[in-house]
Structures are given as structure tokens and as C-alpha cells.
Structure 1
Amino acid sequence: MHRSNAIAFVSSGMLSPKKRDHVLARRQLYLNYGALSLATMLDAAGFTTMLLHGEHRDPSEVVDELFGTGVLPSQQPLMISIPSFYALPWAQTFCRLVRQRDPEVRIIIGGRWVVGPDVDWLRSKIPHADIFVPGLGEPILNSLLTAKPDLRRLQSPTPDFTLNHRLVKNHLQYQPSIEASRGCGMGCAFCEERDIRLEKLRPPELIARSLSAVQAQYDGSEIHPYLQASMFVPNVQWGSRLVEAVMDQAPRIPWRTESRVDALTPDTVAHLAQAGLEVLDLGLETASPTQILHMRKSADPDRYLSRASELLAACRRHGVRAKVNVLLYAGETTRTFEETRAWLDDHAGMIAGVSVGPVMAYGPPKIASILLDDWAASGAAPVDMNSAFETGITSVHLSRDFDAAAAEAASLYLSRRYMDVNAYFQLKSFSYYPRNYTRADFDQDVKQSNPNSLPFREADRSVQSCVSSAPDSTVTAGSI
């Protein structure tokens, strides 16, 4: 059997979308920039490598492509990244099929949020894999190509190189990524990076160089890079330096990033907007003082919400579209939900869109039980006690007011209240839809989707009409 010398990275896809299964959700593309970082390092070291995303394709189709193009079988290991527990079923099938085609294949599984919590549990779910990497891959990458890999969990600083997007199969369909920093360490109860120290931002001059280098990888065409950072917290001086660093760029490159609502100052936003920031994903999560404390978002809810108001006002003033993330949390009641809704109503003119969903417990029992025990004190309970062991994903009844079904209905209700079809398309097409996906394509897909599953309202419907037609399941107690 002839074997290539290629190192293939496969980002596990999903058998069904993460939230709601409809055509629009299956169109979304998520660049696995962690796997691309490893592929870029090996490419720079002289290896032949590539990154293929499973997306929502059948695993057998991806296996056929890898063997049909001669990438597999290979003398080198097959690197598989599992970016979330939602991708686990896809990875299980993919590994089984690859092993059937090539019994001698050496399969290495990475994805620290899935592998790290309990390696033995994951090994029982994917018996066809050989090696499981529980931490970051960069510091041990070279050893993974040897017979005795180093599997220590070592910290790795934010890469100082530009990701090589040309290594991605069909890279022109994906919006690019630029890593700005790693870690967070803010201690939010639900966050996987709550205890991982926030690293210093890469120098703005390096960010500007990466912006230009990435655009060259796309042959100078329009791109919308995502500056990846769990918490993007530049100060005014950093923002000012970025403005200077990108002044010579032509054309101006619009970009997107994410942060907390209490992490950026209005003056910093002014500089970032001048430097190309067009969309800002903001982790508000809740506007209920009670839930802010339960989430451990802040010890001072009033100050937290005041800073959120100032930041949203600054975004509107400087032309930055703010997309607000809302999390229905353990212990959610009609009163806490109403507090969030009222706050969002007061700021609706400053919000470009929202992303709303109920909290989930991610991880095998070793990890999920810690969260579930904590949430039980607030009146929350798992929908299925066995789901943590079976899938690593546990849905939760948030409280007596919000069982899992009511929480899902309330999530859709809030999404539609603050986001119409135009806003949804603008936000998704900026970062997540294929770069050649047009509004006409989108409109056609909307027609083919079940309207009850879509998180936006029609453009010609007012917020009031959306409220009047809210499903009964959202009216769990009183005023919703």
C-alpha cells in the first residue's frame, strides 16, 4: 500500500447543528484556528500538511475524499481536532471508518475542551484512536510525530506568527482568524477559561502585519478577519497604536472580535473603530442583578450594567455593530428574565443583534457533576442524568419557572424581539457564512426552513407584533 508523507488535520464536523437544525445553521462555517495553528507550524518546518473541516458533511464523504485524493493512507499520524462535544458523534464515526480503511493508521485526537476533562472517558467513546492530547498542542507538536509523544499539559503563549489559511481545504470559503490573545481568568461560573490567566495582547504592530498578510493569502479580496481572544481588552494606548499601524493599509480591512461588556472603555472603542473594528460580540449574559451574582460575572451588578450601557452607546456612536450574547442561567425566574428583557428594551437601538440560549453543562460526569451540583442550589436540575456520560452535553431545567422547553422558547422569543432577518444575515454573513454566499442564497434557504426554528423575525414586523405573537410556552409566569 502506497503511503503519502502528508500530515492531515481534520476538524470534526457535526451530524446536526449545535442549536437548532435548519438549513441556515448548516450553512455556517467555523474555522478551526487552533488546528490551523498546528498545521501552520508544521508547514513552516517543511512538512506537507493541510486542514480539512468536516462541517455538516457525512463522515464517510470526508473519508472518501482523503483516500481518494491520496492524502491517506499516510506514513504520518492523522490529526483529528474535536472542537466541542457537539462534534463527538461525528468524530466517533469518522475514526471508525478511517480505521476500517487503514488498520495501521495512527490517529491522534486533540481539542483541549473535549479531551482535557477526562481522557479515560473520551478513550472509551473513541476506541479507534491511538493518542489523546489533553492540552495545547503547540509545545509538544514535534513529539506527536514520534513513537513516544510527550503528553504533558504545557502552557503555550499566543502564537506570534500569522496563520497560513492556504492550508485550509477550500480556504476561500472561510473568513480568516488572527489570534490576539489567550486566556481569560475572570472567574465566571459557567466559563471553561475562568481560571486560565489572561495573556498580554499581541503588539498592535504585529496584528496589523497579520491583517495585511492574511489579505494577501486571499489574493487581496475583501476579508472580515476575526481577532480571536476569549476576552479582548486593549487599552486606549494599544488602540491608538493599532490605528497608526493600519493607516497605510489599502483598502481598510474590517474585522470582528469579542469581549465583556465591562472590559472596554468608550475611548478605546473610538480607536478600535478607526482601526477597522466593525462587529463586536459582547458577553452581557444577563441584566438581572441576581443572575449577575449567580454567574459570578461581577460583584457589583450596578457598575457592571452601567459600563455595559456606556460601551453600547460608544459602539453606536462610532459605527460598531454590537451583537449581545444572553445566557439564560440556572435559577432563572420570570422576574430575572423580565429584568434582562427590560434592560435590553432600553438599549434596543444600540444592539445590532442578539444570541440567546440556555446554559448547558458540558463535559463528562467528572466535570458536569461539579456544575450541576452548584446549579442545584439555585433550583436547576438536569433533564437527563445519563447525558453527561453518554454525550458530554447536559441540558438543564433552569428552575420551576423555566424547564428546558420553556427556556428554549424564551431564547427564541428574545432573539426575535431584538433581531430581524436583515440584522441576522448581516451578522452571520460577516463572519460565518461562506464568503460566496449571497443574500439571494440566504433568502432561498429561509424559504426552505421551518420558521418556528429561526431566531429572527421578518423585516417588516415590528417588535410589538413579534411580542404579540410570542408562543404561549414563553409565558411561563406572568409578564413575558
Structure 2
Amino acid sequence: MDRIFCISAGQLIVKKSDTVINRQNRYLNYGLLSLATELRKSGWNALQIQGLFESPIETVKKCIDFGFCNLSTLPFLISVPSFYAISWVNEFISLIKEINSSVKIIIGGRWVIADRSDLMQSLVPDADIVVPGLADRNITRIVESCLSFEFEKLKIPVSTLKNSLDYNLLYERELYQPSLEVSRGCGMGCSFCQEKNEPLQRLKSSSIIIDEAKSILIDDNLNKMNIYFESSMFIPTRSWVESLKEKREHELLFFDWRSESRVDTINLKLVKHLAEAGLKVLDLGLESASKSQLIRMGKTRNAALYLDRASRLLKECHVNGIFVKINILLFAGETSETISETIEWLMLHRQYIKGVSVGPLIVFGWECNTEDYIKELQSYGASRSHMPTEGVQHINLSDEIDHGKAIDISKEISEEFMTKEDYFYLKSFSYFSRDYRFEDFKNDLTR
């Protein structure tokens, strides 16, 4: 039976260095999997294939293996998760059209397209439909609008239609660490965040989370399967945590999970209960320990209180066996003095930190949409560096620290506060391919 191929675009241009180790990352496009699941519920034969770091021709070959040919009639869905993926998308579409010139191409990508479908159409001229925003409720209608005939759908028993993402639709799903979207939005107003104005939604109920976990988890001989609770701002309540803990114990479903949050939004009194409910890794968006930089970012109005809260949260997590990875952003106006302030703070808390991820500010978005933000950054002493591709603006943080130096500093800080063993643990917990062992990792370090 003909398939709807749901393609998560790969990258010919990469944000991080193109190494053997980085190519082991399998960042799950769970938004696309949500669309594939909706199509499956509507009776369509959907399959998700992720381009990752492969060439477009390799992904095309997989589509052919699963039945794509010059007689195929159903459209392709292509999710564009980053501006870095645009060149990959164009090459992929060209290859698909060579095989079947009549196949329709639907592209989406909430954060890339934003409200400028016209600009995306100009970048990807062979796309037939460009879909802005979220398409969860409309994807079936969009697909059917591409067809000029009635198509025989699959007959799916109602009892199999679950709330969870259907990981059986994901090619090589056993190699991915799964994700569950537990809430959307943030709305805290940090200047660098794409969800700064998106209202925060309530957390998904623990009952639904447990039901989804039961349908997702695999017990096999690969690296242990964990779950990432996807939430731009994770703010659990006592009742939610207690309910999750109770239902995990009732179902004997003792999976470990990970989430991301700000340092000033998790109630310290809940940390012990979160650990008992399975939280094992917490990504904390500290961003900086320089008071002036925190103010510039819009992270807080009281930097001293913010850092004190961060310190207490780190210690509480450490006591309760929760590993913390600190995220640091080198921001506009950065100097050797502000960076030293951050490093000194990290030094004081080294024993409580499992790892540190550091990167310089990069501005993503259409130039017409980012002009005002660039001007704000320039008021702090930053300047434009270069554009590696459309929609990606590298920034010189100050006269003292250009983009290249910021990259070097980021690497030095990460290596200072994260051992190879801890790096592998954090990466394999959520991102590395589940068949990638520590021995493989050590061998790749020498290549």
C-alpha cells in the first residue's frame, strides 16, 4: 500500500563540529512524529524517516526500500527543524522529483517558517505547500487537499488509537531515546528564547504520561531506554509529582526520565519527590553567573537572588541523586571579566554539576524579523559576524570576544567541567544512538 513519507530533514551544514561522535546524535523530531501519528489515526499508512547527518540520497534510498516509486501518489511531509537544513531539503526534493515529478511536497517547521511562508517558499521553490505554525489539527485536511481522488485508507480498530505518539511509525525506532511532550510554551520573556511570548500550558496528566510510557519503552540489550519530558519550562506541582510517583509504582514502570527547566521555577521542596518519581537528569538553564549578563538577557531582575536560588537547587539535586547539566549562554556584551564571573561560580559548585553545555549566542530567524533584536544586541557592544546560511546570524559578542573566540571559550569551559565519562552518560541518556557503547565512544575519541 502507498505510504505518506514523513521526513525530518537532515543537515549538510551543521551547527556543531562535524565529528564521528556528533554524528551519533539522534535528535528525535517528536513534533513530526505527532503528525505521523495523527495521519495513522486517520487511516493513512505513514512512516517517519529522519535525515540526521546522512546525505539526502541515503534517505531517498530508504524511501525507495519502503515502496516509493514513479507511481506513488501520496505526498511527502518534510519537517525543517533548522535553517541549517535548507540545503539538505532542496537536494532531497530534487532527488524525489527526479523519480516522480508529480509527487506533492508539503513542508513545515514551526520555528523556522514562523509567519513568513513566502520567504520559505522562495528558499525552497520546489515545495508545493508551505505550512506555518502548528499543524496537529489540520494535517489530515492538508494531506487530503493534495489528492484529486479517493484513496483507500487503512482500517484501524478504534481500540488501537491511543493518545501516545506511535513510535512504530519511526524508522529504526529502537535506536532512539524517546521523548514525551508534557507541556508547551514558556512566556518568561528571555530575549534569546523563541518561546518567550508563548503562554505556558498545564502539564500533561500523570495518567496519560504513564500510558504513553507503557506504549513506548523497550527492554532490550541496547543502552537503557530513558524518556525526555519535553517542556520549555518544566514547573511541576506537588500533586502532579505525587500522582506520577504513585502511578509508576502501581504499574511497576520504573523508567528514568529527564527534563529541562529554569533555576528559579522548581520548588526546592519538590526535588526529593521528583527524584522518587524517576527524575534522573535535569538540564538547568542557568545561562550565566554574571549579574550584568543575567540582567541583559532578561533572565531576572534580581541577579543575586537568582544565583542564590540556583546554588540551593544544585545542592538539593545533588543530595537526592539527580544529575544536573548546566546550560551556559555566552551573550552580547560578554568580556573576560563577565566570563570569569561565570567560571568562578561554576568552580564553587563543581561537585554538584554533572556537566556543562556552553555555546555563544546565535540569532536565528528571517532578517526582517530579527533587525530590532540585532540592534538591541549592538547596544550591548555586540556586532554582526557572518551568516553561514540564510536565517542564521553569528555574532561577535564584543570588541574583545568575537564569534570564533566565543566558540573556543565555550569548548574550554565545557571540557573543564565535564569528564569524558560524564559527557557520554549525559549524551547516551537522551541523544546518542542506543547501540553506541562507551567503548565505541572511547575509540572515536582517538580518530
Q: SS in structure 2 opposite 1:138? A: coil
For residue 34 of structure 1, what is the aligned residue in structure 2? 31
State whether residues 332 and 382 of structure 2, in contact with CA within 8 Å, keep that contact through their aligned partners in structure 1. Answer: yes
For residue 444 of structure 1, what is the aligned residue in structure 2? 443
Q: SS in structure 2 opposite 1:303? A: helix
For residue 372 of structure 1, what is the aligned residue in structure 2? 374
State whether residues 215 and 221 of structure 1, in contact with CA within 8 Å, keep that contact through their aligned partners in structure 2. Answer: no
For residue 324 of structure 1, what is the aligned residue in structure 2? 326
Q: SS in structure 1 opposite 2:433? A: coil
1:179-258 paired onto structure 2 within 5 Å: 179-215=181-217, 222-250=224-252, 252-258=254-260
Q: Which amino acid aligns with 2:91?
A: T
Q: Deviations over 1:133-179 (max 9, x none)?
A: 11001121122123379xxxxxxxxxx92111111000000011111
Separation in 1, partners of 2:254, 2:93: 43
For residue 93 of structure 2, what is the aligned residue in structure 1? 95
Q: SS in structure 2 opposite 1:338? A: helix
State whether residues 39 and 50 of structure 1, in contact with CA within 8 Å, keep that contact through their aligned partners in structure 2. Answer: yes
Separation in 2, partners of 1:202, 1:217: 25
Of 279, 282, 303, 2:281 maps to 279
Matched residues, percent identical?
Answer: 38
1:169-184 paired onto structure 2 within 5 Å: 169-184=171-186
For residue 296 of structure 2, what is the aligned residue in structure 1? 294
For residue 151 of structure 2, what is the aligned residue in structure 1? none
Q: SS in structure 2 opposite 1:395? A: strand
Q: CA deviation at 1:270?
A: 1.2
Q: SS in structure 2 opposite 1:143? A: helix
Separation in 1, partners of 2:382, 2:220: 47
Separation in 2, partners of 1:71, 1:312: 51
Comparing 113-122 with 437-446, greater Cα deviation is found at 113-122
For residue 466 of structure 1, what is the aligned residue in structure 2? none
Matched, 1:55 2:56: no
State whether residues 10 and 79 of structure 1, in contact with CA within 8 Å, keep that contact through their aligned partners in structure 2. Answer: yes
Separation in 1, partners of 2:357, 2:31: 24
| TM-score normalised by length of structure 1 | 0.87
Q: Which amino acid aligns with 2:391?
A: G
Q: Deviations over 1:302-331 (max 9, x none)?
A: 121111111111110110110010000011
Q: Which amino acid aligns with 2:121?
A: R
Q: SS in structure 2 opposite 1:440? A: helix
Q: Which amino acid aligns with 1:444?
A: N
Q: SS in structure 1 opposite 2:357? A: strand
Q: CA deviation at 1:263?
A: 1.0
State whether residues 328 and 358 of structure 2, in contact with CA within 8 Å, keep that contact through their aligned partners in structure 1. Answer: yes
Residues 53 and 36 (structure 1), Cα distance of their counterparts in 2 relative to 1, 3 Å cut: same
Of 104, 109, 124, 1:106 maps to 104
Residues 251 and 146 (structure 1), Cα distance of their counterparts in 2 relative to 1, 3 Å cut: closer
Separation in 2, partners of 1:186, 1:137: 24
State whether residues 218 and 225 of structure 2, in contact with CA within 8 Å, keep that contact through their aligned partners in structure 1. Answer: no
Comparing 13-22 with 352-361, greater Cα deviation is found at 13-22
Of 341, 347, 350, 2:349 maps to 347
Q: CA deviation at 1:246?
A: 0.8
State whether residues 118 and 366 of structure 1, in contact with CA within 8 Å, keep that contact through their aligned partners in structure 2. Answer: no
Q: Which amino acid aligns with 1:396?
A: I
1:8-27 paired onto structure 2 within 5 Å: 8-27=5-24
Q: Which amino acid aligns with 1:441?
A: D
Of 78, 88, 92, 2:76 maps to 78
Separation in 2, partners of 1:209, 1:306: 38
Q: Which amino acid aligns with 1:257?
A: S
CA RMSD of aligned residues (A): 2.0
State whether residues 2 and 67 of structure 2, in contact with CA within 8 Å, keep that contact through their aligned partners in structure 1. Answer: no
Q: SS in structure 1 opposite 2:424? A: helix
Q: CA deviation at 1:78?
A: 0.4
State whether residues 223 and 434 of structure 2, in contact with CA within 8 Å, keep that contact through their aligned partners in structure 1. Answer: no
State whether residues 292 and 298 of structure 1, in contact with CA within 8 Å, keep that contact through their aligned partners in structure 2. Answer: yes
Matched, 1:381 2:383: yes
Comparing 300-309 with 352-361, greater Cα deviation is found at 300-309
Q: Deviations over 1:192-249 (max 9, x none)?
A: 0000000000112221222222126979994101111111110222211211111123
Q: Deviations over 1:404-458 (max 9, x none)?
A: 111111101110110111110111111111111111111111111xxxxxxxxxx
Q: Deviations over 1:257-285 (max 9, x none)?
A: 11111111222221111111111111111
Q: Which amino acid aligns with 1:342?
A: E
Structure 2 residue runs without a partner (length 5+): 148-161
Q: CA deviation at 1:391?
A: 1.9
Q: CA deviation at 1:16?
A: 4.4
For residue 432 of structure 1, what is the aligned residue in structure 2? 431
State whether residues 324 and 354 of structure 1, in contact with CA within 8 Å, keep that contact through their aligned partners in structure 2. Answer: yes
Q: Which amino acid aligns with 1:67?
A: I
Q: Deviations over 1:110-151 (max 9, x none)?
A: 1111111422221111111011111001121122123379xx
1:372-411 paired onto structure 2 within 5 Å: 372-384=374-386, 387=387, 390-411=389-410
Q: SS in structure 1 opposite 2:399? A: coil
Q: CA deviation at 1:72?
A: 4.5
Q: Which amino acid aligns with 2:8?
A: S
Q: SS in structure 2 opposite 1:422? A: helix
Q: CA deviation at 1:90?
A: 1.2
Q: Which amino acid aligns with 1:415?
A: S
Q: Which amino acid aligns with 2:440?
A: D
For residue 167 of structure 2, what is the aligned residue in structure 1? 165
Of 309, 312, 330, 1:310 maps to 312
